Amino acid sequence: MGENEIGINQAQKMVDCWIQEFGVRYFSELTNMVILTEEVGELARLMARKYGDQSFKDSDKNRELADEMADVLWVLICLANQTGVDLNEAFLKNIEKKSVRDKDRHKNNTKL
């Protein structure tokens, strides 16, 4: 990894340190799930305006796609931390699952 790159495990630790230093405590799991939904909605709103057919509103013009994605990632990491999920391990298992289950699925899709 490069100088400014971090791994998933390090990101989980960084979020946990931030919560301990600045955040007082994690919001409840249910609250964070609702916040995650809200953040995904904000990302979807920006995507609909940037890549879809909706026009920009003044309130959307200064929003950055990368920042909206980072907000989603932040809350997902919070949820992983507070539920004991190692996202690095989960991601690797997920790639393995997809590689076995879907190894020919997309190659045989005539729509792609």
- Set out the domains of the chain in order of their start, with CATH numbers: 21-101 (1.10.287.1080)
64, HSE (Cβ side, Cα atoms, 13 Å): 4
DSSP-derived secondary structure letter, 112: -
Count Cβ atoms below 10 Å from residue 10 Cβ, excluding itself.
12
> Residue 30 in 3-state DSSP?
helix
Query: Who's near 11: CB < 8 A, 6+ residues apart?
Result: 73, 77, 87
- Rounded Cα distance, 107 and 103, in Å: 8
Rounded distance, CA 52 to CA 48, Å?
A: 4
Instruction: Give me the pLDDT at residue 104, please.
Output: 82
* pTM for the predicted model, two decimal places: 0.88
Q: Is 48 helix (H, G, I), strand (E, B) or coil?
A: helix
Place of tokens 């995650």: 36
Tell me which residues of the chain have a pLDDT lower than 70.
Answer: none
> For residue 72, which of 1, 2, 11 has the smallest C-alpha distance?
11
